[in-house]
Structure 1
Amino acid sequence: MKLKITLFVMIFFSVLSFAQKTVSGKITDEDGVAIPSASVTIEEPGKDAILAYAITNSKGEYKVTFTSAESNVDLKVKAFNQRPLTKQISNSDQTMNFKMEGEATEIKEVQLKTKMITARGDTIAYDLKAFDSKSDRTLADVMKKIPGIEVNTDGTILYQGNAINKFYVNGKDLMEGGYGTINNSLPKDAVQKVEVLENHQPVKILQDKVPSDQAAINIKLKNSVTMTGRGEVGTGFGDPWLWNVKLTPMFFGQKSQWVVNYKTNNMGEQVENEGNILAFGNRFEGRRINASQNDWLNVENASTPNLPVKRYLMNNVHYLSANYLTNIDKKKEWELKANANYTNNAVERESYVQQEIFATEKFPASTVFQNVRNNFYTDKAKGELIFTKNAKKGFFKNTTSFSQYWNADRAVADRTVNSLVNSKRYGEEAIESPTTSFQNSLSTIVPWKEKMVNLLSFISYQTDRQTLEVSPASYLQIPGFYTPSATGLATQNMRLKTFEANHSANIGFSTKGWTFTPEIGFNFKSTNLISDLYNVLTGPSTPTNPINTPLSAYSNDLTYTTATPYGSVGVNYKNDSWMIYANFPVNSNNIKAEDPARSVSKDVNKVTFEPNIFAQYTFASFWKASVNANINNNFGEVNTAYSGFMMTSPTGINAMKATNPIPQNNNKSAGTRIEYRNPLNNLFFNINYRYTDAKRNLISNPTIVQGYTVMEYLEQDNHVLSSGYSTEVGKYFPKFKTNASVSYSNNTTKSDLFLNDEFFTNKNNSQSLGLKFNNTYFSWMSIDYNASITQTKQRSAGRVSSDADRRGFTHNLGLFFYPIENHTVGFNWDQVNTNAVGQKYHNGFYDVSYQFTWAKKKIDFEVKWMNIANKKVFETYEIGTTDTRYTRIQLRPSQVMFTVKFNFK
């Protein structure tokens, strides 16, 4: 491990080993008039590779910085209607002025090649037309093909492997991070270009003072006032009758913007997550979260396959959302945003698992056969109101959000354990889980003379109620609770009340490029947990057969509080080459857990120093190198402190011993990154390395008996060590109209664990090789292809040692043919293969489609046949530390859809 760290440190500093040189000057024409937008490039003699470049400003001035080991370099100047210049100069700092001769530029030389990717400062702009194909209809279709940009399956947009922090349309942040709706439904024809804003600081008053290493996306539309949107209406044949409706009108004006979205289907498309926050902005904007339930209790869940969701999701979903933004003052500094969404979703799922549990010293080997059928019901609403002022002379943002859930889950489970006399069990499980959540976040930055005063406040209150019922009670095998004759109902109740308040104030002052921000704050969180497990049996109530009486060993009334006053100093620096930001907080952690009935009285009072540092160096125009490191401490939550057993699922019991201390986890991590992005030759590259050491004072000690798990913890220091590196290279080839990228990652984790009181050491190594490319070279065909090869090696050492290797291969091929104008024939192939200990499973899925486009009206008529082979189950085999699992999962059958697709304007 030390060798890897040393290697990456050497790589990082090797790129800095050659001194940077700067050439600056002015470009004019024959009459001495400044030439703006001329390109100045530096190249090594005899090599067709650009070291650095610059674009002249309105005064014809340029400044280009480069690094080279050569004694001389070539400087080249190009401008429209001017004769190109090439001059060999020494590798040194110097000033070079040039006077260019006029020369008419032939139109044939003005190609899309020079315009598809342009850069100015920290902004890289992509012409959308250079990357789309005839089959693309929305922004998301094209975004996936742009070099340097990736779109994850959850909709998150990555630039150079990192998530963006903002998503703008014409410079306005309508969606406040929940940009999935626009990305999926904005017609590509409405977009002029996609801009990447590198090192984007969204708070204007902090620009040039507090740097950022994240990028933002700005969608620049063709018109400053745009009424547009996308719609689909479809019906199909399957079991049952199928439908798919999408209606998303949009308006983008100079003063106001809005998006209304209604989507419903039962054909396996997951649309309900479009409202999730994917970009969280900057801490100075306040705190925003994706409100979620505390899902402590669960029915047994059927497994899900490693497949596109459309292959297995049996759904019936209705999703409605509305987003509105308007300026409320004449200067257009104040904005009001109102966002709301509602989801109603019903999902069916079924799987079969054969689990082989390894023998331990205390328990023999066993085999568990289980079939689970689920019905999941989601019913939730969310509203949000945001007031924002983002100006050079001040910042204000208040976000108020409210969420309500009325969720419910159902399960029917058949379980057989081969080594038990009464081995066959059948259980019906149900959970009701209403949740109410409220948050308010306030942040304001006020200039005070030459300083800035920032006040931050976050308040959150949430209640969770969950009731898990299992019938008959004999389905359970809880120690001290299970009786073979129990035919009644077992009920686990749980209620959580959580209040959180974070308040802070800081003052920032700047000098010579440095900004210092001392801050004081107070964080408080209080959670009350009440839980009881009831055994409701049939027959009369007797002292030995109580009815509706909670079992004392399974009751909790715990209050868990955390109070953390802190002080910190933020340090930021930015110039043309360096960007540094760091924070040095000192926290006084005061944690207390109390449950008098269970004799729980625990506390921690500890002062911690938790610094984090980031430094980035930009050189030779195209290169960036960065290092980062941080230390943080975690002292657990209420779910690590209760001591009364809780049935978190019908197959598991969790609790901490009353004598166990509060968990204390210390995490240290460090990483480095080298990044190259050259818009002139359409090449993007990055390599990353990270090492993490997590020290814990408690270690889990699960007891697994016949597939039933009781989780406890032992007091023992232990470490989880992880390291990993990844790299990705992407390039667009204009001549072949091809965008291609190759990625590789390697991650290793080492940890200690207990199982049935036996000690094990565990090491996991996972590797992944990915390939992605798309091609639109031929007028009659386009190709999209994604593939990945994975390998996982698991090594466990203890009384019984085990080695397990697992290999996987997945790919997706999309072929589109255009035999006649306005006619498209599509073919899609998803393949997922697994191979573990001689167990091989190949899962292939095929779709075909035909689409006719009414060009005059811009309406598409599509017929699509999905899962042609009518593959109804997905099979896979996995090897874990304690068991092996063969899994068979129900999939969507073959189905045919007819869909009409259109733009609203």
Structure 2
Amino acid sequence: MKKNISLFLVLFCAVFTFAQKTVSGKVTDDDGVAIPSASVTIEEPGKDAILAYGITNAKGEYKVTFTSGESNVDLKVKAFNQKPLTKQISNSDQTLNFKMQSEATEIKEVQLKTKMITARGDTISYDLKAFNSKNDRTLADVMRKIPGIEVNKDGTILYQGNAINKFYVNGKDLMEGGYGTINNSLPKDAVQKVEVLENHQPVKILQDKVPSDQAAINIKLKNSVTMTGRGEVGSGFGDPWLWNVKLTPMFFGQKSQWVVNYKTNNMGEQVENEGNILAFGSSWEGRRSNISQNNWLSVENASTPDLPVKRYLMNSVHYLSANYLTNIDKKKEWELKANANYTNNAVEREANSITRDVQQGVQYNTRFLNNFYTDKLKGELIFTKNAKKGFFKNTTTFSQFWNADRAFAERNDEIGFRTGNEALESPTSSFQNSLSTIIPWKEKMVNLKSYISYQNDTQVLEISPADYLRFPYKKPGSDTLTTIKFSPGTTALQSFRIKSLDTSHSANISFSTKGWTFTPQVGFDYSTDKLTTNFDGMTDDNSPDFGTLAYENDLKFTRANPSASVGINYKSESWSLFSSFPVNFNSIKAEDLFRNVSKSLNRVTFTPNIFAQYSFASFFKASVNGGITNNFGDIQTAYAGYILTSPGGFNVMNPKNPIPETNTKNAGARLEYRNPLNNLFFNVGSRMSDAKNNLIASSIVNESGFRVTEYIERENKRTSNTYYAEVGKYFPKFKTNASLNYNNTISKAQSIRNTDNIDTRTNGNTLGFKFNNTYFSWMSIDFNASKTWNKQSNIYLTGNKGKTEGYTHNLNVFFYPLENHTIGFYWDQINSKSADIKYNNGFFDVSYQFSWAKKKLDFELKWMNIADKKVFERIDIDNTTITQTTMLLRPSQVMLTVKFNFK
């Protein structure tokens, strides 16, 4: 750990090898009138590379900080309708004033310089027209091509490798983090430019007081009042008949905004996740989260493969959402937002697996036929005031789930062949309310926050016949491992219910002076969980009695956490500092009335965290961060009765164990460079963590793969070190955007399996490449590729057993043979390799699109999975098992779709 930190500190300190110099002054015209918005750049002599730049303010003043090893540098001044100036200056701190001579500037030349990417302070603006192609229709199509910006598979937008904290349209946050709907359905023609707001603090009263290390996105539309949206209606040939409907009208006005979205299909598009919260704003705004169920129980199923969802998802989905925002006062400071969405989704999945257990030297085969049913409703009401003189935000959320899962399972192992039907019912009700307000008080600020959450989860798992289950079992007084035998023709039933109440309240007061902000805070968190479970099953005379208390739980888990902390923040032109120094008084108690067991923990912890960022030479940002966290477990790590968490095995906690404890130390450092003048962006960094636990998982696994997992008291550690780098550049002359990224993660973890201590070391590497080109008027190309090579090693995974390699690429090529005609070719390639086993999976699609320009209609005919590839094959390695999985894919299908804008 120390070696890794020292290595990165050497890299980090190398940035400051040469002393920084500052040049400042004033730019005026012949008459001595100040020239605003003039650019002042510093370059090394004889090199076409900008070291730093600045923009003059309204008074014509500028300030440029740069770093160079040369004795002299070139200073260049440019302004509209002024003759450019160039002067060689010494590499030293100095003040220089300039008078510029009038000279007409051709508009065409100015557009070439400023059209694509411009920068002003912490705002970088991208002109969308510079990056789109003829086949792009929505904002998301173009966003993926902008340098410095990435869009993940789940829709999350990253800037310089980090997730954004806000997504605005004309400066308003309609979607409250669930921006997938707008990104996927806003027509590109409605957008003037995309703005990246670096170091964005969304709470206005905290701006220039409490810094932020995250960026935000603001979509600036061409018109201040815009009625727009996107729609698609499609039908296709397949088994069954295929449909695809997307209707997303939008309105963006100065006082109100709204988006209504209805999407349904059975052709493999995962539209139901568009409502997920992807940007979480600032912690000063209160709590926000994606509401989910406490899914303790599950049916058996194969994990989803790492390939585009449209290739394997057998779905029938209906997703409806509505988002509304309006100002409710004349000053436009107060906003009311109402959001709601409903999902009805049915998914089928079929997979076959061959698992080799290298610890036991056995092999078993499984086959799962799954049906997953999702039925959920969510509603949200938000009142917000975000002004320079005060902040208020109250968010009320209600969610209801009526989900159900089904599985038909087959196993062929040492015992023989058998089948089982599995059914899970899991209704959930959930309610949350988050309140945060910041009140100015003389020169101070008072922040009050309150959060209340209540959730009720009920789950029932049924397996029939029960003798499908064969679990390892030790008889009392014996060390011999036998198998639990259920009576033929009977049913096994696991019931589960948990009621959770979570509250958090805090108050702080902030003092600001000369860029420093000090925030002392007191808080009190309280939560309680009530867990009741029961397992029913009939066994023969030689197996355990499931009527005993060992298979029931009646547990109450409470946590009280008073805390006191002080936050120290600093904001200047070059420096940003965010730090917090909390002291937590942890009081935790777990009571099991069935077993007369009561255990508690009372502990005082100090968990500081710090983030510091330094901006220099106009284009660079260097940052470091570190912190300590303590986690004392939750009800999932405290119960003492056996729970059949899945038909694959029981989980249990030893009632004699203490409360679980995890102490984690983390540190990181990062260097960023973003130069909008030459369209170059890169970042490099490191993350390290070290987690120490007092409990360790101990599993007993039989020859059929059924397991019983118990947690025993033993200190163990998990470590992880990650190094990453990314560079991207846009080449305007060739209309090409290219980026390269690399990630290396080395982790170590400990576990116990069948009484063997297993220390597993994992070395994972990923190399990615992105390329798109719109240089030719008759063709455009989008290409993304990634190469992975990983190695797991322990006492069982030796030599080539733990080595895996993967290669994935997505190639989209569009040809434009005639005006308004487009031919598309799509190629997805997914390869995997382990030792001598290699799988190559290629998928090909073609499309033809005719655009009726006058009516803004697109008619698309698309043939997907031309080769009619039936299955996808992959290899998974997990500590002591190597699994080859074959998953059923969507068949070849043809779709005819009409696409249109609402206005």
TM-score when normalising by structure 2 = 0.97
Distance 1:612 1:138 in 2: 40
State the SS of the aligned residue for 2:141.
helix
Distance 1:767 1:553 in 2: 44
2:346 maps to which residue?
346
Q: Is the Cα contact below 8 Å between 1:200 and 1:216 reproduced in 2?
A: yes
Q: How does 1:28-177 map to 2 (within 5 A)?
A: 28-177=28-177
State the SS of the aligned residue for 2:749.
strand
Is 2:455 the partner of 1:465?
no
Residues 114-163 of structure 1, C-alpha deviations (whole Å, 9 max, x = no match): 32100000000000000000000000000000000000000000000000
1:886 maps to which residue?
884
Q: Is the Cα contact below 8 Å between 1:35 and 1:59 reproduced in 2?
A: yes
Distance 2:242 2:203 in 1: 46
State the SS of the aligned residue for 1:69.
coil
1:22 maps to which residue?
22
1:685 maps to which residue?
682
Is 2:367 the partner of 1:365?
no
2:815 maps to which residue?
817
Is 2:255 the partner of 1:255?
yes
Deviates further, 606-615 or 753-762:
753-762
The code of the aligned residue for 2:711 comes to: Y
Deviates further, 598-607 or 716-725:
598-607
Is 2:707 the partner of 1:705?
no
Is 2:475 the partner of 1:475?
no
Shift of 1:103: 1.5
State the SS of the aligned residue for 2:306.
coil
1:405 maps to which residue?
401
Q: Is the Cα contact below 8 Å between 1:559 and 1:594 reproduced in 2?
A: yes
2:621 maps to which residue?
624
Residues 70-102 of structure 1, C-alpha deviations (whole Å, 9 max, x = no match): 221110011122111000111222221111111
Shift of 1:373: 0.2
Rate the CA distance shift 1:655–1:867 in 2: closer, same or farther, 3 A: same
Distance 1:281 1:250 in 2: 23
Is 2:389 the partner of 1:396?
no
Distance 2:732 2:430 in 1: 51
The code of the aligned residue for 1:69 comes to: G
Distance 1:75 1:126 in 2: 26
The code of the aligned residue for 2:56 comes to: T
Is 2:593 the partner of 1:593?
no
Distance 1:180 1:514 in 2: 37
Shift of 1:761: 1.4
Distance 1:82 1:553 in 2: 86
Distance 1:790 1:48 in 2: 36
Distance 1:796 1:274 in 2: 41
Q: Is the Cα contact below 8 Å between 2:623 and 2:670 reproduced in 1?
A: yes
Rate the CA distance shift 1:511–1:546 in 2: closer, same or farther, 3 A: closer
Is 2:376 the partner of 1:374?
no
Shift of 1:111: 3.5
Shift of 1:879: 2.9
1:796 maps to which residue?
794
1:239 maps to which residue?
239
Residues 677-709 of structure 1, C-alpha deviations (whole Å, 9 max, x = no match): 000000000001011100001111111102001
1:521 maps to which residue?
523
| Among 560, 565, 583, the residue aligned to 1:568 | 565
Shift of 1:799: 11
Is 2:181 the partner of 1:181?
yes
Distance 1:798 1:279 in 2: 42
1:843 maps to which residue?
841
Distance 1:890 1:506 in 2: 56
Q: Is the Cα contact below 8 Å between 2:813 and 2:825 reproduced in 1?
A: yes
1:305 maps to which residue?
305
Is 2:757 the partner of 1:759?
yes
Distance 1:667 1:218 in 2: 36
Rate the CA distance shift 1:546–1:554 in 2: closer, same or farther, 3 A: closer
Deviates further, 777-786 or 473-482:
473-482
The code of the aligned residue for 2:509 comes to: I
Distance 1:325 1:879 in 2: 48
Rate the CA distance shift 1:30–1:838 in 2: closer, same or farther, 3 A: same
Q: Is the Cα contact below 8 Å between 1:532 and 1:550 reproduced in 2?
A: no
Shift of 1:46: 1.5
State the SS of the aligned residue for 2:32.
coil
Distance 1:799 1:257 in 2: 57
Distance 1:645 1:490 in 2: 14
The code of the aligned residue for 2:384 comes to: T
Residues 636-694 of structure 1, C-alpha deviations (whole Å, 9 max, x = no match): 11010111000001111001111111110000010000000000000000001011100
Q: Which runs of 5+ in 1 are unaligned?
A: none
Residues 14-35 of structure 1, C-alpha deviations (whole Å, 9 max, x = no match): 2123332221111111222222
Q: Is the Cα contact below 8 Å between 1:536 and 1:546 reproduced in 2?
A: no
The code of the aligned residue for 1:784 comes to: D
Residues 146-182 of structure 1, C-alpha deviations (whole Å, 9 max, x = no match): 0000000000000000000000000000000000000
1:612 maps to which residue?
609
Q: How does 1:256-271 map to 2 (within 5 A)?
A: 256-271=256-271
State the SS of the aligned residue for 2:694.
strand
Distance 1:544 1:790 in 2: 49
1:385 maps to which residue?
381
Rate the CA distance shift 1:227–1:281 in 2: closer, same or farther, 3 A: same
CA RMSD of aligned residues (A): 1.6
2:479 maps to which residue?
none
Identity of aligned residues (%): 70
State the SS of the aligned residue for 2:271.
coil
2:536 maps to which residue?
534
Distance 2:363 2:801 in 1: 20
Is 2:316 the partner of 1:323?
no
State the SS of the aligned residue for 1:189.
helix
State the SS of the aligned residue for 2:272.
coil
Q: Is the Cα contact below 8 Å between 1:758 and 1:799 reproduced in 2?
A: no
1:438 maps to which residue?
431
Distance 2:208 2:659 in 1: 43
Q: How does 1:776-791 map to 2 (within 5 A)?
A: 776-791=774-789
Distance 1:782 1:801 in 2: 44
Q: Is the Cα contact below 8 Å between 1:617 and 1:624 reproduced in 2?
A: yes
| Among 689, 692, 714, the residue aligned to 1:695 | 692
Shift of 1:543: 11
Shift of 1:432: 0.3
1:487 maps to which residue?
489
Distance 1:430 1:491 in 2: 10
| Among 649, 669, 673, the residue aligned to 1:652 | 649
TM-score when normalising by structure 1 = 0.97
Distance 1:289 1:428 in 2: 34
State the SS of the aligned residue for 2:782.
strand
1:497 maps to which residue?
499
1:221 maps to which residue?
221
State the SS of the aligned residue for 1:6.
helix
Shift of 1:207: 0.4
Residues 744-792 of structure 1, C-alpha deviations (whole Å, 9 max, x = no match): 0100001222111111211000001100010000000000000000000
Distance 1:115 1:303 in 2: 46
Distance 2:798 2:87 in 1: 71
Q: Is the Cα contact below 8 Å between 2:801 and 2:835 reproduced in 1?
A: no
State the SS of the aligned residue for 1:498.
strand
State the SS of the aligned residue for 2:268.
coil
Distance 2:798 2:125 in 1: 58
Rate the CA distance shift 1:230–1:456 in 2: closer, same or farther, 3 A: same
Q: Is the Cα contact below 8 Å between 2:801 and 2:834 reproduced in 1?
A: no
Q: Is the Cα contact below 8 Å between 1:224 and 1:253 reproduced in 2?
A: yes
Distance 1:866 1:860 in 2: 18
Rate the CA distance shift 1:799–1:298 in 2: closer, same or farther, 3 A: closer
Distance 2:899 2:749 in 1: 52
Q: Is the Cα contact below 8 Å between 2:472 and 2:702 reproduced in 1?
A: no
State the SS of the aligned residue for 1:193.
strand
Residues 551-589 of structure 1, C-alpha deviations (whole Å, 9 max, x = no match): 432100000111100000000001011100100000011
Residues 782-808 of structure 1, C-alpha deviations (whole Å, 9 max, x = no match): 000000000001110379898511010
Distance 2:604 2:795 in 1: 37
Distance 2:486 2:294 in 1: 32
Distance 1:170 1:337 in 2: 16
Distance 1:803 1:573 in 2: 51
1:747 maps to which residue?
745
